[in-house]
Structure 1
């Protein structure tokens, strides 16, 4: 453990504690119980946050540019449930590596870095905050390129990676303790195959759900692997009808009394979702339970993101088609599925973010080409350039299923101003002590949320500001960047990001913040 100059600044600025809720806050508003700030700017540092529900701590991997060099110093920092710094441990990351992914298992945090110099070279660090130790390991995978997902299982890292040919996706097993590495031959699919993945050390296995398509129809393949990457079982899930199965999530393997598969299906076109499906896989050697299909139109709240008049026209149009026995309308929705969340009563909750790729168009003007007759009929012309501008989320679907996979209820969180460049979870879920659910995300300097009680209607526009100082202190947020909200422990979240703050007295300051948010 080595001290650094900004640690002293941090210790001189302890976490701000408060439990007040402003009088203007809406019902069920969260309490922001603690905040800590690091005097850092987004342009000269990086910070990656990993909450640890196992011991109610938060670990931050902090990287800060060394002055007058292109090198970065990295530190693991551990904070307690009051967001007070309890430990800082330096980790000597070689200069050629850049941060790629981070995950945790229990109280151990794993950070994976990729080389900017040698393609396929990875560098891993395993940090134990309890012991205050870091174990490092380097891997020369040769063929791996982009790291899509990272999870830990019994001290081993399972990484979903894109290979060097950019045409295949596979899984890579990394043992940080021993340096052993292997590609998992059981998981090797052509891109852009969709993978979902759950792992549990107690059950001693990992389970992959892979999508496979021939361009017209798609199916799913389930593969169970041991914690050492050996294939235990494989099976296909497909339909006899015109429906195609796009992607799905499987229930966590630690629940040995239920094995559910829930996901999205399409009609003929394997790109867009028509609705949800669910099935119970715990039939043993007997006949398999049938797949249950739920067209989005059957859901009570799916179209809540539309204005009432447009909803009414849509349903009237569907009724006219049904009266004429015409084929059903085909929807054009894309859904990002979260992992299934088991509930205290034995049921499961599925959360899916409904999104679409967003583009902006640049118009460029210039002199047109000279025609064959020696002149240009249009001496000044325009050309359009389409530029990808992130994934725009319109609403979030949340559904409750019983242990046999039967849909019990559904609800929708209509979101605003939610766009990100990586297709990753942006809206987070926590369960309240009374069984209600909270869906929340950060929008600039605000925390937007919705409290869900099964299918009951509730407001979509609840929000509270991210508090920057105890109540009574006047402080204005000039800018917020890299903001994130992650589930923590109990019904708490941890919010993080960079902010530029202004006060009536004193200069503007830049900080990286952590806020404890308790519902």
Structure 2
């Protein structure tokens, strides 16, 4: 374990750094799971360079000072491949599946002491699995069989599985699966297109798999793309997400609606139409959504929106959103979403015949900005804010922006090129403009040659966890550079109470507010 210091730069104090050497003889995949003030769990999947299937799990749990608490290994049986993982308060689960049949194994790791149990069984039907959740002693697996959605519950008690009713239908796609641990409910969200009309449905099941409520949100005017549920109490929940106007994945804005938790009779549907019960908020209605643009471009956008509004015309936005889990607040909730677009690269090559052929393939995702919305418990929009994230790209679509609440302020941070970019907001105001904090400096005679797969996680009490791969060289040494998987604990020091809001702050009534991205141009 090595200790490295981040340059003071007012907000962050020295961090603790942990380095895990990378094997040169096998392929390794690292997963880091933060456990709040209980520490962090590192899961390494070891594989053979000549086989794509991992052969072993290594689990290591560390405390908040990154000191090792326990370590254990698990050998993966032949023909089984890891599919998905899930975490509850006390356990980490890994779903393993045989590719040639319906046999599954679920590994359960006790986060307290590292003890492990394995539950083996068979699925009712062959399926491609894309969702994996665990509630108490039942696992819920969501996926598709012959292009139709299927959700299977698997019991750890008797190792049996059954299909949840009401889902195996044509033209329906699984959107999300959420579990309510307090009320022991499972919510399955689907979307469907019927004669150019898009419908978003929330089916609620009991712990045993009985359908107890179906809520249909009609899409005559607005098509819901995603949905996140936040229970307010035993009687009511808030459903929040993004929507489009044309049954596409391109967002026009965000919505929020209240849903009663009272169970309706099996088979009965509660239809919610776009009335005052559901609020649709166009991106143009948000005060700070376009703050990621340069001032001149932002001003032109605002003027264009005003002209079209005076002419009675609507502006069609086409944004792809990665919506985070909802964050409960004292007022109600906070919605965070990142705006991104797929990156493609094309190449041309000769083919048999005249001319050339052009091939286009996706090489990752590029992010433009993140935005936040604060709502009260009745669904009223209280404030909004945004964070520019220019030139940030990722091969996989991951949540890059992390959020840490400290008192009445919120810290927004993301990793890029070996640095942490951080900004502090208070509702719709920017308290501290975006600044960069380097994680590259190690010992005096060491330097980072390159960093990749950088990730940042909000941890606990204002602490963040940065991790990724680095190649490090040593000055005046003939030794080759070392490659490591690093974990850095980063602590933010709260701002001085006398800190004044920055000049980029936008008051709720200032619709023409602009702001610039501070710092040098990012590579």
Deviation digits for residues 463-514 of structure 1 (CA, Å, limit 9, x no counterpart): 2223564xx5342222223332233333333222222111214431111222
Is the Cα contact below 8 Å between 2:14 and 2:490 reproduced in 1?
A: yes
Aligned pairs for 1:308-457 (under 5 A) are 308-325=295-312, 327-343=313-329, 345-365=330-350, 369=354, 381-432=355-406, 434-457=407-430
**Separation (CA, whole Å) in 2 of partners of 1:175 and 1:428:** 34
SS at match of 1:110: strand
Of 82, 85, 88, the match for 1:105: 88
Number of residue equivalences? 479
Is the Cα contact below 8 Å between 1:215 and 1:270 reproduced in 2?
A: no
Deviation digits for residues 315-359 of structure 1 (CA, Å, limit 9, x no counterpart): 22222222222x30111112121111102x142000111122221
**Separation (CA, whole Å) in 2 of partners of 1:95 and 1:448:** 43
User: What is aligned with 1:57?
Assistant: 39
**Separation (CA, whole Å) in 2 of partners of 1:188 and 1:439:** 41
Is the Cα contact below 8 Å between 1:41 and 1:511 reproduced in 2?
A: no
CA shift, 1:398, in A, is: 0.9
**Separation (CA, whole Å) in 1 of partners of 2:203 and 2:35:** 28
User: What is aligned with 1:279?
Assistant: 257
CA shift, 1:58, in A, is: 1.5
User: What is aligned with 1:5?
Assistant: none
The TM-score normalised by the length of structure 2 is: 0.83
Is the Cα contact below 8 Å between 1:200 and 1:254 reproduced in 2?
A: no
Is the Cα contact below 8 Å between 2:124 and 2:161 reproduced in 1?
A: no
**Separation (CA, whole Å) in 1 of partners of 2:254 and 2:339:** 12
User: What is aligned with 2:129?
Assistant: 147
**Separation (CA, whole Å) in 2 of partners of 1:502 and 1:189:** 57
Aligned pairs for 1:41-190 (under 5 A) are 41=23, 44-53=27-36, 56-65=38-47, 72-115=55-98, 117-141=99-123, 143-163=125-145, 165=146, 167-176=147-156, 178-188=158-168
**Separation (CA, whole Å) in 2 of partners of 1:124 and 1:149:** 14
Deviation digits for residues 34-66 of structure 1 (CA, Å, limit 9, x no counterpart): 22111114862222222223x512222223346
Is the Cα contact below 8 Å between 2:197 and 2:247 reproduced in 1?
A: yes
Is the Cα contact below 8 Å between 1:87 and 1:129 reproduced in 2?
A: no
**Separation (CA, whole Å) in 2 of partners of 1:112 and 1:354:** 30
Aligned pairs for 1:288-307 (under 5 A) are 290-307=277-294
User: What is aligned with 1:372?
Assistant: none
RMSD (CA atoms):
2.9
**Separation (CA, whole Å) in 1 of partners of 2:75 and 2:447:** 37
SS at match of 2:427: coil
List gaps (5 residues or longer) in structure 1: 1-14, 370-380
CA shift, 1:124, in A, is: 1.8
**Separation (CA, whole Å) in 2 of partners of 1:367 and 1:459:** 60
**Separation (CA, whole Å) in 1 of partners of 2:428 and 2:291:** 12
List gaps (5 residues or longer) in structure 2: 265-269, 493-523
**Separation (CA, whole Å) in 2 of partners of 1:473 and 1:173:** 55
SS at match of 1:203: coil
CA shift, 1:297, in A, is: 0.5
Is the Cα contact below 8 Å between 2:142 and 2:150 reproduced in 1?
A: yes
User: Is 1:484 aligned to residue 455 of structure 2?
Assistant: yes
Is the Cα contact below 8 Å between 1:280 and 1:289 reproduced in 2?
A: no
Of 459, 463, 469, the match for 1:498: 469
**Separation (CA, whole Å) in 1 of partners of 2:288 and 2:212:** 40
**Separation (CA, whole Å) in 2 of partners of 1:170 and 1:339:** 23
User: Is 1:22 aligned to residue 7 of structure 2?
Assistant: yes
**Separation (CA, whole Å) in 2 of partners of 1:269 and 1:234:** 21
SS at match of 2:164: strand
